[in-house]
Amino acid sequence: MSQPSKLQQFFRKFAGLFYKFDAAENRPQLTRAPVDKTLPAKIADPLPSKPAEAEIEDKPKVKIAKPRNKEEAEKLRQFPFPADKPSEKEHPADTDTSSTVKTDTEPAEKVVESLLKENVSEIVSKVPVDSAIAGVRENAISVGAQTALLADEAAKKGVKNKYAPIVSFRNVHKVFNPGTPNEFVALQNINFEIEDLPDVGEFIALVGPSGCGKSTVLNLIQGFQEVGGPTAGEVLVRNKPVTGPGRDRGMIFQKYSSFPHLTVLQNVMFGLQLNRESLGYSHAVMEKLARDMLAKVGMAGHEEKYPYQLSGGQQQRVAIARTLVLKPRIILMDEPFSALDEPTRIEMQQLITNLWNEVEATVFIVTHSIAEAVYLSDRIFMFKANPGRLVSQIPIYADDIGKHDGMSPMEVQESKKFNDFLKQITDEFIRIGGTA
């Protein structure tokens, strides 16, 4: 039916003074828009195998292997400062080099060595003494704090890390309920920096007694509003202060966090739908991504079930899939396997290792299992309570624990090499005041 004319509308309005008509139907107005008759250069696939952001031509990339020992790690990272000199392409001969930093003429190792000899006393004096540890002041602070402070001093001389940091804590203090009888110092003077290693990602395990601030560290990285920011100091992600949660950070909790009224598939799609505008995905693409991720975590065939129909291990697999489907660059896990039985826990360790190698993200895991921390991590951060302090950083290399490709977690953790190393870590944990 055609739209009423202006004359008909006028008479209807006039007659409405004497008679009440039914509400007029709001019919859509038809408009004519100019038609573009040129054909597109490429017709989009209604269901591409990769998301829109991945449609760029894939370039073969050389993946950096994980270092198996300290020597390989030093070659890979040259941590904390690189020895490589800029190439001629970066600094052509005709470029003015009058303002070139010291590293162009002096190897970085010598700069660091001079810092250690000349400035370590001054640097260390900036960190409060841990009265619970006997010995000289240098032994009273964490290796992480020394490294971070040395990095600051070196940066003033023009020496920088080889890779940009992905997470930085700079003199972070966190006090809950300040100024009240319930005031609690959760974290005191936390300093560390995690480099964004290309195509690798680092796995950091946080261990320590209850109340030492491990979960608070994760919450500060995630930027939860109910926790708030640091009371003092800075928490940076990619050199930018954390102001709130972001899609680049994914969290996996101890408690199963699926929505009970949504199916498994709907739970995994939830984050994608929440970020639909920024991602630019269609519903079909989001469903495909969710199903693919469920298959990777071993949940294919369970898409239409509800959380109450799943076991604990299955629910945690759904939580992992929901987090990883967004491809976060930082994965935060707060005791994700503590509620699982031992065989299921071993399965999940294998699963998270496989997925981590695939997503190449930086991972932080809070765990009360030292064996789990030794097996999974590249570095262990040991914390001490009252107040929470980072008192030790321990690197873990595959050769140290007899971890080789093709070995299951059980095979590694039952070996003598692993248990000898585990004993050393456990002794250190007890020494700093933890309870094994």
pTM of the model: 0.68
Mean of per-residue pLDDT scores for the chain: 75
- 131 has pLDDT over 50: no
Please tell me the predicted confidence (pLDDT) of residue 73: 66
pLDDT confidence of 151, banded at 50, 70, 90?
low
- Annotate the chain with three-state secondary structure: CCCCCHHHHHHHHHHCCCCCCCCCCCCCCCCCCCCCCCCCCCCCCCCCCCCHHHCCCCCCCCCCCCCCCHHHHHHHHCCCCCCCCCCCCCCCCCCCCCCCCHHHCCCHHHHHHHHHHHCHHHHHCCCCCCCCCCCCHHHHCCHHHHHHHHHHHHHHCCCCCCCCEEEEEEEEEEEECCCCCCCEEEEEEEEEEEECCCCCCCEEEEECCCCCCHHHHHHHHHCCCCCCCCCEEEEEECCEECCCCCCCEEEECCCCCCCCCCCHHHHHHHHHHHCHHHHCCCHHHHHHHHHHHHHHCCCCCCCCCCHHHCCHHHHHHHHHHHHHCCCCCEEEEECCCCCCCHHHHHHHHHHHHHHHHHHCCEEEEECCCHHHHHHHCCEEEEEECCCEEEEEEEECCHHHHCCCCCCCHHHHHCCHHHHHHHHHHHHHHHHCCCCC
Q: Higher confidence at residue 148 or residue 67?
A: 67
Please tell me the predicted confidence (pLDDT) of residue 28: 44
pLDDT in tens, 413-425: 999 999 999 999 9
Please tell me the predicted confidence (pLDDT) of residue 432: 80
pLDDT confidence of 262, banded at 50, 70, 90?
very high
pLDDT confidence of 269, banded at 50, 70, 90?
very high
pLDDT in tens, 283-293: 999 999 999 99
Highest-confidence range of 6-15, 285-294, 357-366, by mean pLDDT? 285-294
Please tell me the predicted confidence (pLDDT) of residue 5: 65
pLDDT confidence of 312, banded at 50, 70, 90?
confident
Mean pLDDT confidence for 257-268: 90
Q: Where are the domains of the chain?
A: 258-327
pLDDT in tens, 211-235: 899 999 999 999 998 888 999 999 9
